[in-house]
Chain A
Amino acid sequence: MNKFLLTAFTLLLMCFVPAFGQGVSFSPVSDVSALQRAVRQQSEATQTLSSLFVQEKYLDMLQDVLVSNGRFMYKKENSVRWEYTDPIRYTILIHDGKFTIDNDGKISEFSTQSNPMFREINKMIVTAIRGDFVGSPDFSPTYFENEEQVMARLVPASAQVRSMIEHIEIYFQKSDMQVVKVLFAEPGGDYTAIRFTNNLVNREIPDSEFLH
């Protein structure tokens, strides 16, 4: 169970990385240091984030796309709400050292302090939101850009993670440094694409949004 959850949450956490957007044809970023600085500046300036998302899971063998909808909220230092509203009702809440999963009314609660797995996840969230993924030993990054967007392609360093995720693409909108799309490419041609819309930055979010 722990391995399954850890993997699932690892994928989720990648969605919280602050950055910019997406475009048509991408070419390598010429000034990587400037990009890294921009990512860090943006993450430091971000106190809260909220958005709606559409998740598309493409299954190559089934030649089919499964679509889920939901909403996402983040508040510094590390409060997170990741909520699916359709077709399932499933919410992950992280707040005040607690990890809560509400699976259609069935509540599971974990302490991030007493549980090493959730402590690690908690640490990863903070790292991701601060933009530390840029120099992270867990990923080998390459950066691309076009006129509107920057795309960070992260290849997991761990062979075990690579057996599930070939690479992750994070698309940032250059104009406001917001994440607009995250794509997880799996071996065999499957992928999960999450598109963010209605992004609201530094809007007041009460703590009650992160509590069950």
Chain B
Amino acid sequence: MRAALLPFSLFILLGLLFNSCRFSGYSARYVSGDVKNSRPVVFGQDFEKALYSTDLNVFGRQITGITVIKHDSTGFHVAMLSELGLKYFELFFPANDSTADEIRYVMEVMNHKPVTEGLLSLYGLLFQPPVYDSHARFLMNETGKTCLLINKIEKKQVSFYFSSLSGEVEELTSKKLLKPKAEIKLSGYGDGYPGSLLLFQHKLSIQLKRL
């Protein structure tokens, strides 16, 4: 019995160790009063539209094209097109939380659950607004340059790594039990939105560069 429990205990121990290292370098004790007011921003309040050249790698198949991201009072719209104008997919992320994220169109050959779920998950993370509720944790790294906001949203743990000075988000991650981790790296901000993005989850990756 004891022998059978040993691997299980080790597994738990490793899990705890992993958990404690997840936000290595970040701690609440580095947070100063001024920084507490910093808020993570991906798309600024005045953001309306952006065009990106796009490399989409989906289960080993590479597709290139143009992605348009548009914001209006109803929410965020995303569409990816081929260079020749053919639409691959179109997604909608409503501003209203009570409405579900939506695939408005997806080309038949891409219309497979792992692909559509991956697209919704990645772009959903990109447009995820930060939440400041009782579950939110606010940490800071030793340098004082990067803040980390950790949210619990619908059984997901969403982390916003962002500049303490500008609020520009540098990295987003989303973890959910038994689901592949979703990650987004962002850089090259200008005109209130990122110039370069790398979104990846399991066998789906999307590289966006501002046009």
Chain A interfacial positions (CB closer than 8 Å to B): 1, 3-4, 7-9, 11-12, 55, 57, 59, 61-62, 64, 66, 68, 84, 87-88, 90, 103-104, 160, 163-164, 184, 186, 188, 190, 192
**CB–CB A55/B107 < 8 A:** no
B211 to chain A, nearest CB (A): 4
CA separation between A59 and B33, bound complex, in Å? Answer: 46
Further pairs besides A8-B82, A184-B85: 17, Cβ < 8 Å: A4-B61, A4-B63, A4-B88, A8-B83, A11-B84, A59-B79, A62-B70, A62-B77, A66-B68, A68-B83, A68-B85, A88-B83, A88-B211, A160-B108, A164-B108, A190-B87, A192-B85
Which parts of B108-137 form the interface with A (CB within 8 Å)? 108-109
Task: State the interface size on chain B (CB cutoff 8 A).
Answer: 28
Task: Determine chain A's interface SS by DSSP, over half rule.
Answer: mixed
CA separation between A1 and B82, bound complex, in Å? Answer: 12
Known A64-B70, A84-B83; contact A188-B105, beta-carbon cutoff 8 A: yes
CA separation between A87 and B49, bound complex, in Å? Answer: 15
Task: Determine chain B's interface SS by DSSP, over half rule.
Answer: strand
Question: A186 — nearest CB in chain B belongs to which residue?
Answer: B87
CA separation between A12 and B84, bound complex, in Å? Answer: 7
A164 surroundings in chain B (CB, below 8 A): 86, 107-108
Which parts of B185-211 form the interface with A (CB within 8 Å)? 211
- The contact sample of 13 A-B pairs, CB cut-off 8 A, is A1-B62, A11-B85, A11-B86, A12-B84, A61-B79, A61-B104, A62-B77, A62-B79, A66-B66, A66-B68, A66-B85, A87-B211, A164-B107
Which of B62, B104, B109 is the one whose CB lies under 8 Å from A3? B109
Which of B51, B63, B64, B70 is the one whose CB lies under 8 Å from A87? B51
**CB–CB B90/A61 < 8 A:** yes
CA separation between A192 and B81, bound complex, in Å? Answer: 11
B53: interface (CB < 8 Å): yes
B90 surroundings in chain A (CB, below 8 A): 59, 61
A192 surroundings in chain B (CB, below 8 A): 84-86
B43: interface (CB < 8 Å): no
A159 to chain B, nearest CB (A): 10
**CB–CB B51/A66 < 8 A:** yes
B161: interface (CB < 8 Å): no
B92: interface (CB < 8 Å): yes
**CB–CB A61/B68 < 8 A:** no
**CB–CB B53/A57 < 8 A:** no
Question: B210 — nearest CB in chain A belongs to which residue?
Answer: A87
B99 to chain A, nearest CB (A): 15
B83 surroundings in chain A (CB, below 8 A): 8, 68, 84, 88, 90, 103
**CB–CB B81/A66 < 8 A:** yes
A7 surroundings in chain B (CB, below 8 A): 86, 107
CA separation between A160 and B108, bound complex, in Å? Answer: 8
A188 surroundings in chain B (CB, below 8 A): 105
B68 surroundings in chain A (CB, below 8 A): 59, 62, 64, 66
**CB–CB A103/B79 < 8 A:** no
CA separation between A3 and B83, bound complex, in Å? Answer: 15
User: Interface readout for B81-103 with A: 1 if CB under 8 Å, 0 if not?
Assistant: 11111111010100000000000
Which of B49, B53, B61 is the one whose CB lies under 8 Å from A88? B53
Which of B79, B85, B109 is the one whose CB lies under 8 Å from A55? B85
User: Interface readout for B40-66 with A: 1 if CB under 8 Å, 0 if not?
Assistant: 000000000101010000000111101
B85 surroundings in chain A (CB, below 8 A): 11, 55, 57, 66, 68, 184, 192
Known A59-B68, A87-B211, A104-B53; contact A1-B77, beta-carbon cutoff 8 A: no
